[in-house]
Chain A
């Protein structure tokens, strides 16, 4: 049973446009969500996170939106750059359960020049 899902395995966007990556979760106990960027043969790099008490968090070109009622979060990248091309994973955790991360399946983003 996948508790965190990223239904789009890939996404292609033109440079300068907005990239929107989506993530859905089923466990209502999750209270913290993170986005990671990963290049092949490398470990994930933390991008941005959001607590369940917020519905939006912004950091430069990256904004994460959380819709708790829909159990949905999204990562917006504006403007997209070719260097953003990578696999993006969303992850969720429960604060009082050891903080283990449950990852989605990942979305491969390709930003075309």
Chain B
């Protein structure tokens, strides 16, 4: 089946630094990828929709300049948390859909970000 690889699985960074999270579709092409954020014991909240070759679409309340999304190829989307602060500490998950019209969403394994 479809596999989405997400790296790193966990990262600790200092406040003020930037962190890049990668999301790769390993055996399929994904024109659209989605980035979610999950706070402890809460649901997954959609942050943005990443579109290959164009700008990402951000959900209301998500800072575009804080969370930079780049979808440079059909198999790779990256989320960069810029000038990270402790409140950015969270679990970030990406997902991709295998092909248009398919509901076969596949999720990455997630990245635990801790900002100290």
Interface residues on A, range: 20 to 34
Q: Would you call A101 and B6 a contact (CB within 8 A)? A: no
Which DSSP category, helix, strand, loop or mixed, fits chain B's interface? strand
Q: Would you call B108 and A43 a contact (CB within 8 A)? A: yes
Instruction: Give 1 or 0 for each of A43-83: 1 = CB within 8 Å of chain B CB.
Output: 11110010000000000000000000000000000000000
Q: Does B91 contact A (CB under 8 A)?
A: yes
Q: Would you call A44 and B32 a contact (CB within 8 A)? A: no
* B interface list, Cβ under 8 A from A: 4, 6, 9-10, 32, 34, 36, 42-46, 49, 91, 93, 95, 97, 103-110, 112
* A interface list, Cβ under 8 A from B: 32, 34, 36, 41-46, 49, 89, 93, 98-106
What is the chain B residue whose CB lies nearest that of A40?
B91
